[in-house]
Structure 1
Amino acid sequence: MFLQKLQLKNFRNYSEASLNFSPGINVLLGQNAQGKTNLLESIYVLATARSHRTANDRELIRFGNSDADIKGLVHRRSDDLPLELELGKRGKKARVNHLEQAKLSQYIGQLNVILFSPEDLSLVKGSPTGRRRFIDMEFGQIAPRYLHDLTAYRDVLKQRNHYLKSLSMHQTNDRVYLDVLSEQLSLFGGSIIVQRQKFLTDLEKYAQELHLSITQGQEQLSFEYDSKLKDIKDRSEQELQQIMDTQLKTQYEKEIFQGTTLIGPHRDDIKFLINGKNVQTYGSQGQQRTTALSVKLAEIDVMKEQTGEYPLLLLDDVLSELDGQRQTHLLKTIQNKVQTFLTAPAMNDVARNLIKAPKIFTIEKGHVAETTANGELVLKTVTYYPQSDKQEG
């Protein structure tokens, strides 16, 4: 699949915009605060109905306006599909082929994207929260059941934590209701763990191959699902649900004292191993970055395997964070494979030599124009937004 056309209205610092893209590599050039990242963000929001930069939708709406609109025309194997996402005071409205969707979960997955930013290079050495978010965001796009179970799990977890706090403050003493909440949490928790383990197994297969290639066969990469729950390896969904329910009930006194749920997939993590050793603990910065690069690139093939089509790849200023060898491997991997949107201040030598026939947009002083790699104008201005002190990116 690829994004043929994008239209924006009152998104971030874009008043209006209309752009047509290449199915290959699209390069967005410009200095900081010109709108490159905002444009990339709009594609991500169109696909996932949420931003990777903020949880507050109000920040996505151009200063002084009450709503914003993102439209895209997606080419898939069988058809062209119009998508639209409206952001306003009353929340989001999502349309697929001009038909409004009753739930966002019915909308998500129509357009699949992988975002790779400098922050993703810290996936390995960063926090468990970031690694859980990585699984939830990427897998949630291609697995409707996972997204449903994750949403339900979070709802029950919120209720359970609230009830544990009331027990810790002696506002109630109904352990029967706590049993009910534990059973509900275990029902969704067991499903989430099984699905996460399957996703990581699929991801590991492709990441291992990529990692071996980057390291010239010297390093074997593997993953390990790290859970606070005991004895969960190679268990069925039903067995995991029972294990979680049993272990939750043994934690009651401790949980009531702390007023929070202490075990479950919301506290789990991923371990990355190179030649059997934990990269987070023992790996060099270069090994950690190579691991992160292998993981992100492996997502491309996992999404293709799961959906039958390649996703879009969004690269936000990543090249500047990689050395020449890793830049080369990244660009060779994506060439002629996936539609790519790449932001950078300028085309560097590696990119000039490896990217074949890119479509280049230069963003400067409120204008976006299609240009050559040397900055020569190809098309007149294709979009315009007045400069402001707000929401630049």
Structure 2
Amino acid sequence: MYIENIELQHYRNYESLSLTFSPKINVFIGENAQGKTNVMEAIYALAMTKSHRTSNDKELIAWEQEHARIEGTVHRKYGSFPLQLIVTKQGKKTKVNHLLQGKLSDYIGQMNVVMFAPEDLHVVKGSPQFRRRFIDVEIGQISPTYLHELMQFNKILKQRNQFLKDAKYKKLDPILLDVYTEQYVLSAAEIIHRRFLFMTLLQTWAAHIHTSISQGKETLVIKYKTEKEITAESTVAEIAAVLTARLNEMKQREFDRGVTLIGPHRDDLQFFVNDYDVQTYGSQGQQRTTALSLKLAEIELIKQETQEAPILLLDDVLSELDDYRQSHLLNTIKGEVQTFVTTTSVEGIEHATIREAKMFHVERGTVTEDKSLKEE
């Protein structure tokens, strides 16, 4: 899978931009704050309908404009077709092959991307919210039904939280909470079950890759952290039973706090290298190797599930990796994964993959193909 071209209109600092890409490696070179990451973000947004940098869609629209438009042609094993995302101040519209999509969950998955940015190096030591988002984004790309389930879960969670919040100040019918709880448990159990299935697959790939990067010295184990009675072998019904029991135990505390305290929105991931918690005891090198292993495992997992390699977006991340990890990453993607790289300079990146890339120079929102850098 690869993206053949992209067109931007009123997007960030690009009034209008049209680019054609190599199906292999594309490198965007320029100083900071010139617009390199905006191109990367646009490719990500075309795939995922949202930015990896902000939750406020209005920030994608150029100053004093009413909308931003991203269009691109995606090549998959069954042919090429256009994708379109239009972001307005009222909402978003998506099209696949010129046909308007009724739901975002019907659109996501048409083009699969894996983003690796400096903040992803902190997936190990960052907040649990960051790791939950990582899980949800990746499952959503390979399973549109999961996205639908997740939206349903968030809707029910919001209703239940609102009831608990209101109950602190006024008398409400307790039967209504029972109704919300029953719906909540069924939805939450499905989410947790799907996450366990995904993490089992990801663990298989990540452990193998981590062992390779560490030259056989380290073993990586990923654990999905939820209620201790729930395991990867638990059925949806068993998960629901555990959640029901725990919610009954926590009922008074939830009323006191005015919020739901049990469920997938509270879960987390744990990473262990040679049985040590990497988040707490791992060196910076081990944490970075773990993050890199996760990203490369994402690529392999998406390939396994869709029978096509996803598009890899490396946003200013090569400079954050030492020579060995940099070479491992570039060797892994060589010739198979369409890759986009942003960097301030290719100096110091001694790898044939970069030398064979299609080069673009970015300055003040203007992008030009730089053939001279390739020839050198």
Q: Would the TM-score normalized by the shorter structure come out above 0.5?
A: yes
Structure 1 residues 1-393: aligned runs within 5 Å: 1-169=1-169, 171-227=170-226, 229-233=227-231, 234-372=233-371, 374=373
**What percent of counterpart residues are identical?**
50
Residue 376 of structure 1: CA displacement? 7.1
Any idea what the Cα deviations from partners look like across 1:6-32, whole Å, max 9, x if unmatched? 011110010111111011010000001
> d(CA) in 2 for partners of 1:39 and 1:366?
10
- Of 133-142 and 42-51, more deviation after overlay is shown by 133-142
- Provide the secondary structure at the position in 1 that maps to 2:373: coil
- What TM-score, normalized by structure 1, do the two folds share? 0.93
Which amino acid counterpart does residue 127 of structure 1 have in structure 2? S
Residue 247 of structure 1: CA displacement? 1.5
- Provide the secondary structure at the position in 1 that maps to 2:349: helix
Any stretches of 5+ residues in structure 2 without a counterpart? none
Any idea what the Cα deviations from partners look like across 1:351-382, whole Å, max 9, x if unmatched? 454435211111124421111363779xxxxx
- Is the 8 Å Cα contact of residues 35 and 364 (structure 2) preserved in structure 1? no
Any idea what the Cα deviations from partners look like across 1:289-316, whole Å, max 9, x if unmatched? 1001100111001001111111100000
Aligned residue pairs total 375
- Of 261-270 and 83-92, more deviation after overlay is shown by 83-92
- Of 352-361 and 129-138, more deviation after overlay is shown by 352-361
- Provide the secondary structure at the position in 2 that maps to 1:355: helix
> d(CA) in 2 for partners of 1:366 and 1:119?
23
> d(CA) in 1 for partners of 2:175 and 2:245?
14
Residue 230 of structure 1: CA displacement? 3.4
- Is the 8 Å Cα contact of residues 221 and 275 (structure 1) preserved in structure 2? yes
- Provide the secondary structure at the position in 2 that maps to 1:190: helix
> d(CA) in 2 for partners of 1:68 and 1:156?
31
Q: 1:22 to 1:160 in 2, by over 3 A?
A: same
Q: 1:31 to 1:375 in 2, by over 3 A?
A: farther
- Is the 8 Å Cα contact of residues 30 and 363 (structure 1) preserved in structure 2? yes
Which amino acid counterpart does residue 231 of structure 1 have in structure 2? E
Which amino acid counterpart does residue 339 of structure 2 have in structure 1? T
- Is the 8 Å Cα contact of residues 40 and 314 (structure 1) preserved in structure 2? yes
- Is the 8 Å Cα contact of residues 212 and 219 (structure 1) preserved in structure 2? yes
- Is the 8 Å Cα contact of residues 105 and 145 (structure 2) preserved in structure 1? no
> d(CA) in 1 for partners of 2:98 and 2:260?
42
Which amino acid counterpart does residue 210 of structure 1 have in structure 2? I
- Is the 8 Å Cα contact of residues 271 and 279 (structure 2) preserved in structure 1? yes
Residue 54 of structure 1: CA displacement? 1.1
Which amino acid counterpart does residue 279 of structure 1 have in structure 2? V
> d(CA) in 1 for partners of 2:62 and 2:277?
44
- Is the 8 Å Cα contact of residues 312 and 338 (structure 1) preserved in structure 2? yes
> d(CA) in 2 for partners of 1:349 and 1:307?
35
- Of 184-193 and 354-363, more deviation after overlay is shown by 354-363
- Provide the secondary structure at the position in 2 that maps to 1:349: coil
- Is the 8 Å Cα contact of residues 313 and 341 (structure 1) preserved in structure 2? yes
- Is the 8 Å Cα contact of residues 24 and 358 (structure 1) preserved in structure 2? yes
- Provide the secondary structure at the position in 2 that maps to 1:64: coil
- Of 354-363 and 366-375, more deviation after overlay is shown by 366-375
Name the Cα RMSD after superposition: 1.4
1:387 alignment partner in structure 2:
none
Which amino acid counterpart does residue 230 of structure 2 have in structure 1? I
- Is the 8 Å Cα contact of residues 219 and 274 (structure 2) preserved in structure 1? yes
- Is the 8 Å Cα contact of residues 140 and 146 (structure 2) preserved in structure 1? yes
> d(CA) in 2 for partners of 1:225 and 1:367?
44
> d(CA) in 1 for partners of 2:341 and 2:42?
14
Which amino acid counterpart does residue 87 of structure 1 have in structure 2? V
Q: 1:151 to 1:167 in 2, by over 3 A?
A: same
- Provide the secondary structure at the position in 2 that maps to 1:168: coil
- Is the 8 Å Cα contact of residues 7 and 16 (structure 2) preserved in structure 1? yes
> d(CA) in 2 for partners of 1:375 and 1:172?
71
- Is the 8 Å Cα contact of residues 44 and 115 (structure 1) preserved in structure 2? yes
Which amino acid counterpart does residue 262 of structure 1 have in structure 2? L
- What TM-score, normalized by structure 2, do the two folds share? 0.97
> d(CA) in 2 for partners of 1:99 and 1:80?
15
